[in-house]
A and B are shown apart, each in its own frame.
Chain A
Amino acid sequence: MGKQPAFTKRFAPSEADLAQCVRCGLCLQHCPTYVATGLEAESPRGRLYLIKAMSEGLIEPTVNVTGHMDRCLQCRNCEAVCPSGVPYGRIMEHGRAHVLHTGRAPFAWRLRALFLREVIARPGRLALLASALRVYRASGLRALAERTPMLRDRVALAPTIAGKEFKRRGVLARPKGATKYRVALLTGCIMPLAYGRVHAATVRVLARNGCEVIAPATQVCCGALHGHNGDLPTAIELARRNIDAFLAEDFDAVIVNSAGCGSAIKEYGQLLAEDGEYLDRARLLASRVRDVTEFLASLPFEPPKRLLDARVTYQDSCHLGHAQRITRAPREIIASIPGVRFIELPHGDRCCGSAGVYGLTQGDMSLRLLDEKMRYIRETGADVIATANPGCMTQLEAGLRRHGVNGRVVHVIELLDESYRRATAHV
């Protein structure tokens, strides 16, 4: 007799999901951690096999196994190239959820879940943490730490908090002319603290394209980070509150400018698959969610007219490119700006190593991927690196500092906004 399966039924990755993998191996070279290590257990195929073995009760969630699961970036590059359509992201989330709920999860996992639940999902506490990080940067302490050889690697990936916080709710903007669309904006948890300027740009660009933009006051964090780390109950709870918040009115679209959040909300239907009360509305909300680049490209958006003299490259945010499969819209937007010379980033679809809290939990691998990313960025000679997610932005900014590269990191939407605003200023 084998031991009882370590997985509790409620969160077990479904047998059907696990059976989808036929082990052809075509994912291997698309997995950043497999390419970096050459280890099968650090590949999608290997991790899936381990999760499967765990669900069959063949192996236990030892530190060894949870370590392999931990080193997964959940970038879902494998999922985008899988001929068989293995829902790898979902399998990993459920795999982690199970380990977490067996009570045999490593301490670090429980601590992480606690942090995500009690800080990230709580705006007041998160703001406090952000203030600390703001002081850390403004006081020059960060610059000092990053120059200290012994600390350099350890502090390299601490998130950047700078600029004005975006606190507004309710009606954020109305178009100058006729209102063509009424859209809601997900403000999110980290975005308003770290990249208030991206929200400001998003609102201006949407208004210019005929949108009335509203931030429903009762919205909360999307729950993506909680789901990724296996805390499905919290993810579900947050999803329910957002469903109530965003479906209170009939918006034409719910606009999201962080790829990770957009991907999470688009998958609310899967997250709440067993929630009889919310399932239909989860699907309805999911169907209304658009990444801001996706929404603009579908309009089509007003072409920007003023020159923006820059060499621009684009890093595909994993949850935009791989999870949402949106790769053309951001490029279209960048290419539409007069004066921009767009250079494709070699391996631009490979994760930069940010991956949510990965930079904090797997610093070594995260830095390794970032250093490789910076080599390719240097090759392009770009002075502007555009991307579509706050995590990627803060990671790439850390990369610029670390490698002494001159340049700036922007959200795609900021470039469009810059060109629009120049036009307004000069015409």
Chain B
Amino acid sequence: MKRSSLIRDLQGAIGRRWVLHAPEDLLVYEYDATIDRGLPEAVVLPDDAEGVASAVCIASNHGVPVTARGAGTGLSGGAIPCEGGVVIVTTRMNRILELDPENRIAVVEPGVINLDISRSTAPYGLYYAPDPSSQKACSIGGNVAENAGGPHCLRYGTTTNHVLGLEIVTADGVVVWLGGKTADTPGYDLTGVVVGSEGTLAIVTKVIVRLLHKPEATVTLLAIFDTVTQASRVVSSIIGKGMVPAALEMMDKNTMDAVEPFVHAGYPPDAGAVLLIEVEGLKEDAQEQADAVASICRELEAREIRIGLSQEDRDRLWAGRKGALGALGRLAPSYYILDGVIPRTRLPTVLDGVYEACDRFGFRVANVFHAGDGNLHPNVMFDERVQGATKKVLDLGEEIMRLCVDAGGSITGEHGVGYEKRNYMSWIFSPDDLEVMSRLKAAFGASEIFNPGKVFPTSKGCGEVSSRMRAAIARVGADAFV
């Protein structure tokens, strides 16, 4: 059989122990943190770039696609092998190879956990700025693939602003370096091209990240409002006045209902919305900014402003914000997280539209998002076990994405296009735009092999392979495919 020779070849290159092929072992690689599913034919866990390169070559020889996976916490199905093939997992490549505090850079492997970079650089007063909500679990390789954002990206920019260079494995199995340790390297900015390419151009095997000095002072405010609209107006006003807080996050009532029983951070049970705001800088400057923000909140009818919070209180508020997605499991068995961007002046109207659409479709929605960036995250709660619910939720998602695009926004802020939003790409880009992108993919030699079914519009459904294999497992039992 074709599959058995694929597995034999992979075992020869990577070692038996690190090639998974039993159905039960593959099953746990069919998901990430989204609702998509796709079963791989084999999973490999190489230890270094050479191992990745061999796996890529072998897959290529066998004519099967390759999908890279870090921790599997992604929110656009980026790590899901839509068309089967080989999944390369980077969890074993998790070493911090070099730490250069003077030049404020670190060289890390893709499996390193985002937060671990900041933890290990903390003794030098340094940290890695992009902080996705899943930062204690997600890998830097995944962050690079999706150009991950996070609450503090309002001030500091997303992953792409913090990656100086990459070692990658190309589609023909060659290991090359892009960029370098200096801020600007001559020639094409291929690092910038690969960051955010969602695993469709290359597989990243080393990352040079930029580190920042921890700010002297950080002030956290929690502003409490009766309605989402009031909170939205405050956001528009803060941004309109030219202020750039480090973070400007909104959580609505449904989100707080889910989060509070988990963190006990004092999120008010009866408020319509809160803004979690953080300002940073030199001591006096941070205080001034905080005062200015507080006075805007007061002017625009904040019910209460909490400021001067203890470190413990702040940690708990942030734990609530960053655990919000998972906490939704308390309210419903499944969620569908959307990721749209809109001009910040349109927040109140678009949010109204989101609530209206969810009402009409009959789903409860929790909004928790990077308000300062105009980056919405409506989380639609549903039960995927109910017949037809998933389809209905996807239809609702499409409608919400439409709202964002019609408001002059975009279909993703930080989670990536991935699988289920690829068909919305044509709302934003012309056929010519998309053609240029696909020529870029071809230039990388990656057209056929890397993460097919993602980013580019197509009519093929994800999980077709998956459902075929699932059916086979059910039919012949555990020995299927071994």
Interface residues, chain A, with chain B CB atoms under 8 Å away: 2-3, 19-29, 38-41, 43, 45-46, 49-50, 53, 57-60, 62, 64-65, 68, 82-86
Contact with A41, one of B28, B259, B323, B328 (Cβ below 8 angstroms):
B28
Residues in B neighbouring A58, C-beta threshold 8 A: 27, 470, 473-474
Residue pair B326, A28 in contact (C-beta under 8 Å): no
Interchain nearest-CB distance for B7 vs A (Å): 15
The stretch from B89-97, B168-176, B217-225, B430-438 touching chain A is B89-97
Q: How far is the CA of A59 from the CA of B113 in the complex (A)?
A: 31
Residues in A neighbouring B326, C-beta threshold 8 A: 22, 24, 26, 82-84
Query: In the complex where A62-B478, A84-B327, A86-B329 touch, is A41 in contact with B31 (Cβ < 8 A)?
Result: no
Residue of B nearest to A3 (CB): B477
Residue pair B477, A60 in contact (C-beta under 8 Å): yes
Taking A3-B474, A83-B329 as known contacts, 15 extra A-B pairs with beta carbons closer than 8 A to each other, sorted by chain A number, are A19-B383, A20-B330, A21-B329, A22-B333, A22-B335, A24-B325, A24-B329, A28-B71, A45-B28, A49-B31, A58-B473, A60-B477, A82-B326, A83-B326, A84-B326
Contact with A64, one of B24, B29, B89 (Cβ below 8 angstroms):
B24
Some 18 contacts from A to B, beta carbons below 8 A apart, are: A19-B383, A20-B330, A20-B333, A22-B335, A23-B32, A24-B137, A26-B323, A40-B89, A50-B24, A53-B24, A58-B473, A62-B24, A64-B25, A83-B262, A83-B326, A83-B327, A83-B330, A84-B327
Interface residues, chain B, with chain A CB atoms under 8 Å away: 20, 22-25, 27-29, 31-33, 45, 71-73, 89, 91-92, 94, 111, 113, 134, 136-138, 259, 261-262, 323-330, 333-335, 383, 385, 470, 473-475, 477-478
Contact with A2, one of B32, B325, B474 (Cβ below 8 angstroms):
B474
Residue pair B89, A38 in contact (C-beta under 8 Å): yes
Q: How far is the CA of A85 from the CA of B32 in the complex (A)?
A: 19
Residue pair B325, A83 in contact (C-beta under 8 Å): yes
Residues in A neighbouring B94, C-beta threshold 8 A: 38
Query: In the complex where A24-B33, A28-B137, A49-B28 touch, is A40 in contact with B72 (Cβ < 8 A)?
Result: yes
Q: How far is the CA of A57 from the CA of B473 in the complex (A)?
A: 10
Contact with B71, one of A3, A25, A60, A86 (Cβ below 8 angstroms):
A25
Interchain nearest-CB distance for A187 vs B (Å): 35
Q: How far is the CA of A41 from the CA of B30 in the complex (A)?
A: 12
Q: How far is the CA of A152 from the CA of B137 in the complex (A)?
A: 36
Residues in A neighbouring B385, C-beta threshold 8 A: 19
Query: In the complex where A28-B71, A85-B262 touch, is A20 in contact with B28 (Cβ < 8 A)?
Result: no
Residue pair B478, A60 in contact (C-beta under 8 Å): yes
Q: How far is the CA of A351 from the CA of B136 in the complex (A)?
A: 19
Residue of A nearest to B91 (CB): A38
Interchain nearest-CB distance for A208 vs B (Å): 33
Q: Which of B134, B328, B335, B474 has most chain A Cβ within 10 Å?
A: B474
Residue of A nearest to B328 (CB): A22
Residues in B neighbouring A50, C-beta threshold 8 A: 24, 27-28
Contact with A84, one of B92, B329, B475 (Cβ below 8 angstroms):
B329
Q: How far is the CA of A42 from the CA of B91 in the complex (A)?
A: 12
Q: How far is the CA of A46 from the CA of B30 in the complex (A)?
A: 10
Residue of B nearest to A86 (CB): B329
Q: How far is the CA of A145 from the CA of B3 in the complex (A)?
A: 47
10 closest Cβ contacts across the A-B interface? Answer: A84-B329, A38-B91, A83-B326, A83-B323, A24-B326, A19-B333, A25-B73, A83-B327, A46-B28, A22-B329
Q: How far is the CA of A41 from the CA of B470 in the complex (A)?
A: 17
Q: How far is the CA of A57 from the CA of B335 in the complex (A)?
A: 24
Interchain nearest-CB distance for A360 vs B (Å): 24
Interchain nearest-CB distance for A18 vs B (Å): 9
Residue pair A38, B45 in contact (C-beta under 8 Å): yes
Residue pair A20, B23 in contact (C-beta under 8 Å): no
Residues in B neighbouring A46, C-beta threshold 8 A: 28
Residues in B neighbouring A83, C-beta threshold 8 A: 259, 262, 323-327, 329-330
Residues in A neighbouring B324, C-beta threshold 8 A: 83
Residue of B nearest to A68 (CB): B24
Residues in B neighbouring A86, C-beta threshold 8 A: 329
Interchain nearest-CB distance for A292 vs B (Å): 25
Residue of B nearest to A62 (CB): B478
Residues in A neighbouring B31, C-beta threshold 8 A: 23, 49
Q: How far is the CA of A29 from the CA of B135 in the complex (A)?
A: 10
Residues in A neighbouring B383, C-beta threshold 8 A: 19
Residue pair A25, B474 in contact (C-beta under 8 Å): no
Query: In the complex where A20-B333, A29-B136, A38-B91 touch, is A59 in contact with B73 (Cβ < 8 A)?
Result: no
Interchain nearest-CB distance for A26 vs B (Å): 5
Residue pair A85, B330 in contact (C-beta under 8 Å): yes
Query: In the complex where A20-B333, A22-B326, A25-B134 touch, is A59 in contact with B27 (Cβ < 8 A)?
Result: yes
Contact with A59, one of B111, B137, B259, B478 (Cβ below 8 angstroms):
B478
Residue pair A59, B91 in contact (C-beta under 8 Å): no
Residues in B neighbouring A84, C-beta threshold 8 A: 262, 326-330
Residues in B neighbouring A60, C-beta threshold 8 A: 477-478
Residue pair B333, A39 in contact (C-beta under 8 Å): no
Q: How far is the CA of A43 from the CA of B31 in the complex (A)?
A: 14
Residue pair B261, A85 in contact (C-beta under 8 Å): yes
Residues in B neighbouring A21, C-beta threshold 8 A: 329
Interchain nearest-CB distance for B52 vs A (Å): 14
Residue pair B23, A25 in contact (C-beta under 8 Å): no
Q: How far is the CA of A38 from the CA of B92 in the complex (A)?
A: 6
Interchain nearest-CB distance for A173 vs B (Å): 38
Residue of A nearest to B90 (CB): A38
Residues in A neighbouring B329, C-beta threshold 8 A: 20-22, 24, 83-86
Residue of A nearest to B34 (CB): A23
Residues in A neighbouring B25, C-beta threshold 8 A: 41, 64
Q: How far is the CA of A320 from the CA of B134 in the complex (A)?
A: 26
Q: How far is the CA of A421 from the CA of B283 in the complex (A)?
A: 51
Residue pair A64, B22 in contact (C-beta under 8 Å): yes
Residue pair A26, B134 in contact (C-beta under 8 Å): yes
Residues in A neighbouring B259, C-beta threshold 8 A: 83
Interchain nearest-CB distance for B373 vs A (Å): 21
Residues in A neighbouring B72, C-beta threshold 8 A: 25, 40, 45
Residues in B neighbouring A85, C-beta threshold 8 A: 261-262, 327, 329-330
Residues in A neighbouring B330, C-beta threshold 8 A: 20, 83-85
Query: In the complex where A64-B22, A82-B326, A83-B323 touch, is A25 in contact with B137 (Cβ < 8 A)?
Result: yes
Interchain nearest-CB distance for A322 vs B (Å): 15
Q: How far is the CA of A43 from the CA of B138 in the complex (A)?
A: 14
